[in-house]
Every structure is written in C-alpha cells, then in structure tokens.
C-alpha cells in the first residue's frame, strides 16, 4: 500500500519554474504513461516527454492507468508499482521536483473483475477503493448497471472511464441512475474542447453544466495523436462553469481519491 501523505502545492497561475506558465492545477487519473505495457508510451523517454507536455498544462500528478483488457493483460501489479516509482524519480528530476506518479489500471470490465480485485490481482486508483473501469462503446445499459451494482456492493467505487464513449448514456436519466447506484463519471478533456456542432461535444458540455461529471482526465497515450489536450476544454469551462466546480473535477476530487488510500482518510466524494 502507498502510505505517503499526499501533498500538493497551491494552484499556480503565475510564472513558475522559470518560463513555464502553468495553467489551472490538475491531477490526471487516467493516462497511459508507463512504457511498453499497452498502446500508450513506447519508451521511458516518451513517458517523460508526455509528462513534460502535461506539466505545462497544469498537471502536477498522474495516476498511470495501463489497460487491463483482452489485448493488454497486466499480470503483475508489482511491476506497475515499480514502473511508477521509476517514472516518478525521473519526472522529479526532469519535469518538476514535486511531480507524483501513482499506480492504477484501466480495467476492462468482465465477469472476473470482482474476483481479481478481491485477490489483489488488479490495481485500484492509487491503492484506494476507487477503480477505473471501461466497457465496449456499444455496451448494453443493463450490463453497465449490473457491473456498478456488483462493484459497489463489495465497497468498490467504480469510475466510468470516458463516459462520453457509451451510446446508451445519451438516453435521458441514465447517467443520473448510474450515479445514484454508486458510479462516478470521468470525462476526457479532449471531448469538451471540440467543435460546438459535434454531437458528443455538445452532450459533454451539457453534462458539465448539469454537474454530472466527477473527474476530468487526459487519457493521453503519446505525444502526437493522443497527447494531453486540456487547453481548449479549460478555455470553454472558464467561460461557462463555476470556478468551484471546475476545481473539483480537475483536481479536488482526485486528491480525495488519493487521500482515500491513507489510513486516516475520511474523505468521500459527494454524489451529485
Ligand atoms: Fe484509457
């Protein structure tokens, strides 16, 4: 278990660390920065380049979430923890002395997920009770709902990765129903900053205005096609959302998760 106390510096909107101008503070709980584990970073050098890009956008800590799926099986949680420690050491030397890298996984839900969690064969987010889960984009709603119930009944707190990807959630009332069942919603920054006429962008913005999102994340995979992209989203949010809500979904809720792993934690994220 990670027992180090979580410490983050205050939001930095001024010129910090030489010429780097940080944007709003962020903690990224969904990214593929560990080298050679999945379709994310291809090398430690690329991982550092990804973290440098992320840091320039205000990201001060990440939870590395390699895919655990049919295509990319993560057999050894300790290997992920070790890679996180290694990457964090490099990031502290080359990105920022306070940069943090926590272990996690993006778990493709299956009938075996719960058992594997109980056997500690899968990693939660930063060793907390929160888990990042994904499904096929065309998942039936009944399966989504059943999975959330199954996991919450065992005291896990499922966070639905990139909620914008699931067609069944576009139907009125379903996001609310899943939240009521105990799910948390994660949205990718990239989908918020797209063109206004894009149906998904519009849906994402509506969800944000209705405060149905608990976490924003980059889901970055590399430094090119799937690099961290938060600026456009941030510009839109600053115009249309309350500052307190933006802070909650950009870093405050994420901090609560990471505190959840602490023995003295009493921090629960409030459901909307
Ligand atoms: Fe992902």
- How far is the centre of ligand 1, averaged over its atoms, from the C-alpha of 31 (Å)? 6
Q: Which of 131, 157, 65 is nearest to 102 (CA)?
A: 65
Cα 30 to Cα 45, 54, 64, 241: the distances in Å are 19, 12, 7, 22
pLDDT confidence band for 261 (50 / 70 / 90): low
Centre of ligand 1 to C-alpha 227, Å, is: 12
Please report which residue ranges of 41-188 form alpha helices under DSSP H: 44-56, 77-94, 113-118, 141-153, 174-180
Q: What is the pLDDT of residues 146-161, one digit of tens each?
A: 999 999 999 999 999 9
Residue 146 within a domain = yes
CATH number, domain at 133? Answer: 3.20.20.140
Residue 174 Cα to ligand 1 midpoint, Å, equals: 22
Confidence tier at 23 by pLDDT (50, 70, 90): confident
Structure-token pair, residue 251: 């870093």
Question: Could you tell me if residue 107 is inside a domain?
Answer: yes
Residue 18, pLDDT score? 39
DSSP H helices in 126-272: 141-153, 174-180, 189-192, 199-209, 231-240, 243-247, 253-260
Q: How far is CA 193 from CA 12, 16, 112, in A?
A: 22, 25, 36
Q: What is the mean pLDDT of residues 32-46?
A: 97
Give the structural domain span for 247: 26-260
* pTM of the complete model: 0.90
Mean pLDDT of the chain: 90
Q: Does any domain span residue 90?
A: yes
Q: What percent of the chain has pLDDT over 90?
A: 85
**Ligand 1 center to residue 241 CA distance, Å?**
25
* CA neighbours closer than 13 Å in the CB half-sphere of residue 155: 4
Q: How far is the CA of 106 from the centre of ligand 1 (A)?
A: 6
Residue 3 counted as domain residue: no
Query: Is residue 7 assigned to a domain?
Result: no
Rounded distance between C-alpha atoms, residue 236 and residue 217, angstroms: 16
Distance of CA 271 from the midpoint of ligand 1 (Å): 23
Mean pLDDT of the region 155-183 = 97
How many structural domains are present in the chain?
Answer: 1
């Amino acid at each position: 278990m990670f027992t180090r106390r979580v410490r983050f510096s205050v939001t930095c909107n001024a010129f910090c660390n030489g010429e780097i101008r940080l944007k709003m503070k962020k903690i990224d709980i969904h990214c593929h920065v560990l080298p050679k584990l999945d379709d994310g970073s291809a090398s430690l050098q690329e991982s550092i380049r990804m973290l440098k890009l992320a840091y320039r956008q205000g990201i001060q800590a990440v939870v590395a979430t390699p895919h655990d799926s049919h295509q990319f099986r993560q057999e050894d949680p300790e290997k992920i923890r070790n890679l996180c420690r290694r990457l964090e050491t490099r990031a502290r030397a080359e990105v920022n002395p306070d940069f943090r890298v926590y272990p996690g996984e993006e778990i493709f839900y299956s009938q075996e997920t719960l058992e594997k969690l109980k056997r500690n064969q899968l990693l939660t987010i930063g060793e907390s009770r929160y888990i990042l889960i994904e499904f096929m984009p065309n998942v039936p709603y009944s399966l989504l709902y059943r999975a959330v119930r199954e996991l919450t009944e065992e005291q896990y707190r499922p966070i639905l990765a990139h909620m914008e990807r699931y067609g069944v959630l576009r139907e009125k009332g379903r996001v609310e129903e899943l939240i009521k069942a105990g799910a948390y919603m994660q949205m990718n920054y990239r989908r918020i900053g797209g063109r206004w006429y894009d149906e998904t962008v519009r849906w994402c913005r509506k969800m944000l205005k209705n405060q149905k999102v608990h976490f924003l994340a980059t889901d970055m995979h590399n430094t090119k096609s799937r690099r961290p992209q938060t600026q456009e989203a941030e510009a839109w949010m600053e115009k249309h959302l309350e500052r307190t809500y933006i802070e909650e979904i950009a870093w405050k809720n994420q901090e609560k998760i990471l505190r959840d792993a602490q023995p003295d934690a009493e921090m629960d994220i409030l459901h909307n």
